[in-house]
Amino acid sequence: MKDEKKENMIINVSDGMTGKNLGDGRFGMDDKSVATKLLDKNYSPMIIRKYTRIGFPLFVHLICDENLEDLDTVVHDCIDECRKNNILTNNIQSLRNFTGILSDTLNNYYDSKKRGCVESIGIIFYVDKMMISSLQGDAMNFDSCRRELYECLNLMTKM
């Protein structure tokens, strides 16, 4: 009985804002019948995560209607696999290949959880006077999305 109440729990925040617990770590309206949220996009905002494990900043941008609690694990596993297979080496083409592989890995991973839930992916890698950018979805197709992404990146690098 306790678990049933938790699944259907409505979170009440000041001023009457509410969110329904979807049971997978996310809140919002039930979105099982659609690929992406239609009416409550505020529960799936854009994220940009910075990684410095490779030595230079690697930024991962996602707009995804799936739980992202395992994003770091997916990114680090991809880095490890690419290093193991000599894909991530000190070579311009190698770094270009890596950004494409990471982009495809994220898209395939989250798509396997919920088909069509990934709306936008951006892999931005700044390596020693070179920027590599691999974009998919909204970041690739819409100028306003690209502007928001690059303006947020600009803000992040100034903090």
Tell me, yes or no, whether 21 and 57 share the same domain. Answer: no
**92-113 vs 71-84: helix crossing angle, rounded to 10:** 140
Tell me, yes or no, whether 129 and 91 share the same domain. Answer: yes
Predicted local confidence at residue 53, as pLDDT:
92
Tell me, yes or no, whether 60 and 25 share the same domain. Answer: no
Tell me, yes or no, whether 64 and 7 share the same domain. Answer: no
Say how far apart CA 159 and CA 156 lie, in whole Å: 5
Tell me, yes or no, whether 17 and 43 share the same domain. Answer: no
Say how far apart CA 159 and CA 154 lie, in whole Å: 9
Predicted local confidence at residue 33, as pLDDT:
66
Query: How many domains in the chain?
Result: 2
Tell me, yes or no, whether 26 and 55 share the same domain. Answer: no
User: Which residue segment(s) compose the domain that 152 sits in?
Assistant: 33-158
pLDDT digits (tens, 9 = 90+) for 74-132: 999 999 999 999 999 999 999 999 999 999 999 999 999 989 889 999 999 999 899 99
Predicted local confidence at residue 23, as pLDDT:
73
Say how far apart CA 22 and CA 37 lie, in whole Å: 12
83 contact partners, CB below 8 Å, separation of at least 6: none
Tell me, yes or no, whether 5 and 38 share the same domain. Answer: no
pLDDT digits (tens, 9 = 90+) for 19-48: 677 777 777 767 676 666 655 566 678 999
